[in-house]
A and B are shown apart, each in its own frame.
Chain A
Amino acid sequence: MPAAISERPGRYGSKGTVGSILLQMFLILFAFVQIYPLVWLAFFSLKDNSEIFSGEVLGLPRKFLWSNYVKALSEGNVLTYFGNSVLVTAATIVLVLILSAMSAYAIARMKWKLSNATMTLILLGMMVPIHSALLPLFMVLRNLNLLNTYWALIIPYVAFGLPIAVYITASFFKSVPREMEESAVMDGCGVYRAFFLIILPLVRPALATVAIFTFISAWNELMFAVTFINDTEYQTLTVGMMSMVGTYITHWGVVGAGLMIATIPTILIYLLLNKQVQESMIAGAVKG
């Protein structure tokens, strides 16, 4: 295995000290710009209104009002919502991984006339504004009798998550040397065995990336969840958070706590999969 791309030696050589200090300052400044809004969110999620509205906006909270989080969490049913989000998101990720890996492989590797056309068709899915699909999808789901079930969310999430998943995975497949499959075939593997046992493991970074992109969009999705699900038992976290925000809109502290609760899982998962994601974006993107 070639050395991981991020570990290759750099090429610009060493800069002068002043230059490199200035450079660091610039980078730190930018990092600050990227991160501070979130830090600010974390801070005011622990403050109470009088602190926020009195202009004490910038600093650390005087007391750590964990009760804001308690309030946000006790807005009935949060645990149910959380569980539903986990279920729907997990199912979506699994299905997207399987379907996109298979179709990306077919497009990238198998020989058939329509492969490029199919890729373009699937990419079309990225261009559709979600709200225009709302009513037609509602009717489709209604006709299939799937409204108000987990499938009402899983199916659209998977369908709309496929374009970018297929795109990334296909790019990655293109960069895998053909020798792997050739040797597998020569050893007598059929296509299916070759695919599942040999090829798939090679594209693990791509799968990790697809997993996290799918996670982000499924976990954070709002519109479909509101429209296709009625019963609280199936409702997801984003909807719960939005209605809590609506209720407490004037209590910035509680709103902040709710937003943090919705955001923290994503950040945690990212930190876990970090290395994989970056590796695959690197390799996948190059083949464009």
Chain B
Amino acid sequence: MKALRKNVLLAALALVLAIGLAACGKEAGDATTPGGNGEGASSDKTIELTLWDQSVGSTDPSAQLIPEIVDEWNKANPHIQVKRTGTPGEQYKTKIKTALAANEAPDIFYGMGGGSFMQPYIENGNVLEITSYVTDEVKAKIKPGVLETLEYEEKLYTLPVYTHIANLYINTELFEKAGADIPTTYSELLDAVDKLRAAGITPAVIGEKDRWPGMYWFNIIALRQAGYDAVVEAFHNPSKWNSPDIIEAARKLQELANAGMFNDSLFSMSYEEMLGAYNAGNAAMMFQANWVNAGIEDPSSATSGKVVVVPFPVFEDGKGTAHEFLGGSSDGFYISANTKYPDEAYEFLLYLSEQLGTRGFLAGAGLPTWNTEGLDTSSLSRLDLTFAELMDTAEAFIPWWDNVFPASSADTHKNLIAQLLAGEITPEQFAERMAQLEPTELHL
């Protein structure tokens, strides 16, 4: 009996404890309800803003920068406190979409690249329009041409942070070992593949399990083959996907695959595993965007100091030039239309975008969209500097195609490329099915 009584008491105690702690949690929880209910400290007019983003992880420079920027803001603005939650990529998507669907979005949140992700929310009025907030003074600080790429139906909803473009990474050590030259044309590329294979080196690595790494390859090949104008036209008029140039691009991708360009394990390898493999020196080439620079140059990587980046080779029979780049859009932060403090939210958005944009550039997180005169670029790696130089030679940009297509067409597009890589469909079939995708809703 005694033991029983003790057990019951213990259980009751545990319960009381749990309730007590949870109740404490609840009080604090009330003060941080998303949507900016700053009811917490009622005496002074402190308002609280919530910020959600997906920059988590030690290899992402933004992951360090954002908390710093938030701290600085909080110190400088005691009456406008910002509370930040960082969630890793895959889960961030679920989290923000659920919150938006329930009208519980935070005041400021990170939205993936201009296209299919944010568009439905903009159209539905979930996002605050900020066109009237952006003064000429602010516009003058931003690199020319950038704001236009962010406009949706001529209105602004976000400010630029930093941008990314994709280029071909070359592991010079492996190339030397195979006696291969850095390719500038398609036939030189095929040549390099042969030499690398003969030396027992995997020419290029793709993490096709996530499907978008392979998409980057096709996107650039199509760009080189058909040229910028033709691609833009096809985005607006999908029947143009079924054209000789696109078919030829598909054929070239298969030709590369058949020549042994890619790793055998491409379908079970994820994006991160691809980075791991490349940084360990297991493949000579990779076609990716500059966010991978930090990992490559990390002192613990086998590739540190050995990798250079070049524009993707031009095609002798293609209409595209080396000045047309894949990438160039800016993933930025957006303000929820439900926010109780639009003015303050914009102030913070401006501060965050500018700070992250310039400091991110200096930390190698991306390419600058804000003016960079007078900034000390000595800490940038050779890779980062090359990217900046290439960026200056650019004449045209196309964002990653899964951001240009509407959501379900983007999905189909990626699947078609995967099938192409696996040799399951012919280039003609590929082009036919591409022609059935929906046109883009972006202003290209």
Interface set of A (CB-CB < 8 Å, partner B): 49, 53, 75, 87, 90-91, 94-95, 97-98, 134-135, 138-139, 142, 145-151, 154, 196-197, 200-201, 223, 226-227, 230-234, 239, 242-243, 246-251
Contacts and interface: CB of A to CB of B under 8 A. Distances in A.
A142 B29 CA distance: 12
B83 A95 contact: no
Contact of A147 (B33, B56, B94): B33
28 contacts: A87-B18, A87-B22, A90-B14, A94-B18, A97-B11, A138-B99, A138-B102, A147-B104, A149-B29, A150-B26, A151-B25, A151-B26, A154-B22, A196-B8, A197-B1, A197-B4, A226-B87, A227-B95, A230-B85, A230-B106, A231-B83, A239-B91, A246-B57, A246-B89, A246-B272, A247-B58, A248-B58, A250-B276
B21 interface: yes
Interface string B60-91: 00000000000000000000000101011111
A138 B57 CA distance: 27
Contacts of A249: 270, 272-273, 276
Given A97-B11, A243-B91, 16 more contacts: A91-B14, A91-B19, A94-B18, A134-B94, A135-B98, A138-B104, A146-B26, A150-B22, A154-B22, A197-B1, A226-B91, A230-B32, A231-B85, A232-B85, A246-B272, A247-B56
A196 B15 CA distance: 16
Contact of B273 (A151, A233, A242, A250): A250
Contacts of A243: 56-57, 87-88, 91
B57 A87 contact: no
B163 interface: no
B275 interface: yes
Contacts of B83: 231
Among A135, A138, A250, max chain B CB count under 10 A is at A250
B280 interface: yes
A53 to B, nearest CB: 6
Given A226-B94, A247-B59, A249-B273, A135 B101 contact: yes
Contacts of B98: 134-135, 138, 227
Nearest to B277: A250
Contacts of B102: 135, 138-139, 142
A150 B21 contact: yes
A197 B29 CA distance: 38
Contacts, number: 119
A81 to B, nearest CB: 13
State the 5 A-B residue pairs at the shortest beta-carbon distance, nearest first: A250-B276, A91-B18, A247-B57, A149-B29, A249-B272
Contacts of A250: 272-273, 275-276, 279-280
A149 B83 CA distance: 15
B50 interface: yes
Given A147-B34, A149-B29, A226-B95, A246 B22 contact: no
A98 B18 CA distance: 14
Given A227-B98, A230-B50, A142 B104 contact: yes
Contacts of B99: 138
B334 interface: no
A249 B106 CA distance: 29
A235 to B, nearest CB: 9
Nearest to B101: A135
A139 B104 CA distance: 9
A206 B22 CA distance: 27
B52 interface: yes
Contacts of B104: 138, 142, 147
Contacts of A223: 94
B30 interface: yes
B205 to A, nearest CB: 12
Contacts of B275: 250
Contacts of B15: 91, 94-95, 98
Contacts of B26: 146, 149-151
A240 to B, nearest CB: 10
A242 B21 CA distance: 25
A75 B270 CA distance: 23
A164 B11 CA distance: 21
A258 to B, nearest CB: 13
Contact of B32 (A196, A231, A247): A231
B88 A151 contact: no
Contacts of A154: 18, 22
A60 to B, nearest CB: 22
Contacts of A150: 21-22, 25-26
Contacts of B18: 87, 90-91, 94-95, 154
A95 B22 CA distance: 13
Contacts of A151: 22, 25-26
B29 A147 contact: yes
Contacts of B106: 230
